[in-house]
Chain A
């Protein structure tokens, strides 16, 4: 990737809120308008659809639980893609890293299940990080040391991960006597507590991984902006040549950033496998890795932005299932269309509205200066 194409939000003499709020909002609106047109084409009413979507995502306690459960996955993958972005890398492999991370979780839960709760959970979480991190470290090493393009290698690693998972679940880990490709259920001492276990709320898949994701968001912020390692990662992302002159090793930081990235993606396995399914299944990643790209782009690679974007996508996921249930011509895939459009407008076409909006504010600032 070129030096200037991977930067998001170039400095301009406009108020910060224009860059951080107005432009993303305009992009989002454009994506939603186009989605509305698609809904019109398939023969439904976009306004009703929006109402169903919002009610389905936030309208009642169950809905909020589900929305936050999806949000958890998107925080993990959003942070994963973002830290790679900060190092100037495009990690398309979050999907595969999440799969392998989930594999690590599953193996621990299956084979260490005699351990008590307080021991097996930390080991499983560490396994998610190690497995996911390893799956990202190999492409990172190849990029840093042998110059293979990380975009291509991470795509290839997604496919290889899917093959490995299919093989393991069909041939090796499949529950004895089972038909579908999934492992046996874990013993209950390895299950993460659900929110409804300790809070007065209806049963939803929301579990303590959500709190873990929030803690990680804070750690992400602290790491990138308040530690030496985080600083080095950002310098390499800004300018590799400058980093070299400053005595910072690009190779080391590329590998570091990708290991963290893979570990973060691997935590999807903690939420899904340890928190909800309690068994290893195929395709538990459900495209969360790819949506992480949109989350990071929308969130401007900042944990606060990522949380908001993750919440948006969580709401889309949950509201989307409601939408498919309530409206006759809309099915689950409509949500994917909206995601694609959001990635298109907030990522690929992010420079489309920017010049117009910036000019407007520059002109206004100019005329204000004249009047004064």
Chain B
């Protein structure tokens, strides 16, 4: 039983990684007052760029770089539309999602001729799992040793990056001047402007951070979790990360737990396929898959606790003259 639980948590961590990174990414954007439903597209773009570059150059690190650059470029496009031209933020996000959903298989088809995929990554062109020090030595110690060896050790580096991103993001958001300004600009851009800080520049900076984190999340999908780019491989993870962000009330630690909860339902779903449970019988897979979305709707309806978004979210800032 304990071993099953550990394996389930192990799977949860793997699934949660892109969610955590994308949700932290979305946190910076949304806390600065820019709605970002383009997380999906940015991750997908990064996943493709990372796999394509890693395969071509043979270096997964160059792949990661390419993923990050791609995601940041898309993030800057979002900023250009929403901040500079005061365009509709939801429309911009949708446009990015749709554009990338078409562009990635188109380029994959043209460059690799494998029906919208990239060739499989096998050697140094993907992230492999890392065995932490002493993991094998302590494996036989009951509970603690086993947990360390199975659950804590044996992930690839991006899983640890995702884990570290939460405290780092929390620190940046709550303990640095930049974080204070990001939070302030999402609540009341006029006040920030009055204090002599350029609102638009700050929002651009916040969206750079969003691009960076989303890029890592997307690269994880194609070079660490999987070993190739497959069309639509994000499969709604960007939207799920957004849901986790709302679930976590736009705060780092609650958002992390929301991501873990969603990832857990996914890991559970994989385990429960076709299993006959006592009393309830076989739960259809689709019901468990829909659970995070249903939970989010219930939360938004205020049945689980009110989620209050940053006040200035969705509104372009128009400087008074």
Q: Which residues of A contact B (CB under 8 A)?
A: 1-2, 4-6, 38, 41-43, 90, 92, 139, 142, 146-149, 151-153, 155-157, 159-160, 163-164, 166-167, 170-171, 290, 293, 297, 329-331, 333-341, 343-344, 347-352
Cβ A335 vs Cβ B95 within 8 A: no
Closest Cβ neighbor of B98 among chain A residues: A340
The 10 closest A-B pairs by CB, nearest first: A336-B102, A340-B99, A348-B92, A148-B300, A42-B110, A347-B91, A163-B290, A337-B102, A340-B98, A344-B95
Identify the interface centre among B109, B284, B286, B315: most chain A CB within 10 Å of its CB: B286
Cβ A1 vs Cβ B99 within 8 A: no
Contacts of B287 in A (CB 8 A): 163, 167
Contacts of A163 in B (CB 8 A): 286-287, 289-290, 293
Cβ-defined partner of A142 (8 Å) among B81, B90, B300, B316: B300
CA distance A155 to B290 in the complex (A): 12
Subset of 11 A-B contacts with CB under 8 Å: A38-B103, A159-B290, A167-B287, A170-B286, A333-B106, A337-B99, A338-B102, A343-B94, A344-B77, A348-B88, A349-B85
Q: How far is the CB of A143 from chain B (nearest CB, A)?
A: 9
Contacts of B309 in A (CB 8 A): 149
Cβ-defined partner of B246 (8 Å) among A146, A152, A171: A152
Known A151-B37, A155-B37: A347·B297 in contact at CB below 8 Å: no
Known A159-B236, A331-B105, A351-B86: A142·B301 in contact at CB below 8 Å: yes
Cβ B116 vs Cβ A349 within 8 A: no
Contacts of B99 in A (CB 8 A): 336-337, 340-341, 343-344
Cβ-defined partner of B90 (8 Å) among A1, A329, A333, A350: A1
Cβ B293 vs Cβ A339 within 8 A: no
Contacts of B294 in A (CB 8 A): 156, 160
Cβ A164 vs Cβ B286 within 8 A: yes
Cβ-defined partner of A331 (8 Å) among B94, B106, B284, B293: B106
Known A2-B314, A349-B81: A340·B243 in contact at CB below 8 Å: no
CA distance A170 to B98 in the complex (A): 28
Contacts of A333 in B (CB 8 A): 101-103, 105-106, 109, 116, 231
Cβ B106 vs Cβ A167 within 8 A: no
Cβ-defined partner of A152 (8 Å) among B80, B103, B243: B243
Contacts of A151 in B (CB 8 A): 35, 37, 90
Contacts of A43 in B (CB 8 A): 110
Known A142-B301, A152-B242: A348·B286 in contact at CB below 8 Å: no
Cβ B242 vs Cβ A329 within 8 A: no
Identify the interface centre among B77, B82, B243, B296: most chain A CB within 10 Å of its CB: B296
> Restricting to B70-114, which residues have a CB under 8 Å from any CB of A?
77, 80-82, 85-92, 94-103, 105-107, 109-111
Contacts of B110 in A (CB 8 A): 41-43, 329-330
Contacts of A41 in B (CB 8 A): 107, 110
Chain A CB within 8 A of B229 CB: no
CA distance A301 to B309 in the complex (A): 29
Closest Cβ neighbor of B35 among chain A residues: A151
Taking A152-B246, A293-B91, A344-B77 as given, write out 4 further A-B residue pairs in contact, using a Cβ cutoff of 8 Å, ordered by the A residue number: A42-B106, A153-B297, A339-B98, A349-B87
Known A156-B243, A343-B94: A5·B106 in contact at CB below 8 Å: no
Cβ A5 vs Cβ B86 within 8 A: yes
Contacts of B80 in A (CB 8 A): 349
Contacts of B98 in A (CB 8 A): 290, 336, 339-340, 343
Q: How far is the CB of B91 from chain A (nearest CB, A)?
A: 4
Cβ B82 vs Cβ A348 within 8 A: yes
Contacts of A337 in B (CB 8 A): 99, 102-103, 106
CA distance A210 to B92 in the complex (A): 30
Closest Cβ neighbor of B40 among chain A residues: A155
| B interface secondary structure, majority | helix
Chain A CB within 8 A of B264 CB: no
CA distance A167 to B103 in the complex (A): 30
Known A41-B107, A331-B109, A348-B81: A157·B95 in contact at CB below 8 Å: no
> Restricting to B8-35, which residues have a CB under 8 Å from any CB of A?
35
Contacts of A159 in B (CB 8 A): 236, 239, 290, 293
CA distance A37 to B164 in the complex (A): 40
Cβ A5 vs Cβ B89 within 8 A: yes
Bitwise, B233-251 to A at CB < 8 A (1) or not (0) is: 0001001001100100000
Cβ-defined partner of B301 (8 Å) among A2, A148, A155: A148
Known A2-B314, A156-B296, A340-B99: A92·B286 in contact at CB below 8 Å: no
Q: How far is the CB of A144 from chain B (nearest CB, A)?
A: 12
CA distance A38 to B104 in the complex (A): 11
Cβ B101 vs Cβ A148 within 8 A: no
Chain A CB within 8 A of B302 CB: yes
Cβ A330 vs Cβ B96 within 8 A: no
CA distance A297 to B293 in the complex (A): 27
Closest Cβ neighbor of A1 among chain B residues: B314
Cβ-defined partner of B102 (8 Å) among A1, A339, A348, A350: A339
> Restricting to B99-146, which residues have a CB under 8 Å from any CB of A?
99-103, 105-107, 109-111, 116
Contacts of B81 in A (CB 8 A): 344, 348-349
Contacts of B77 in A (CB 8 A): 344
Contacts of B90 in A (CB 8 A): 1, 90, 92, 151
Contacts of B85 in A (CB 8 A): 348-349, 351-352
Contacts of B106 in A (CB 8 A): 38, 42, 330-331, 333-334, 337
Cβ B243 vs Cβ A334 within 8 A: no
Closest Cβ neighbor of B111 among chain A residues: A42
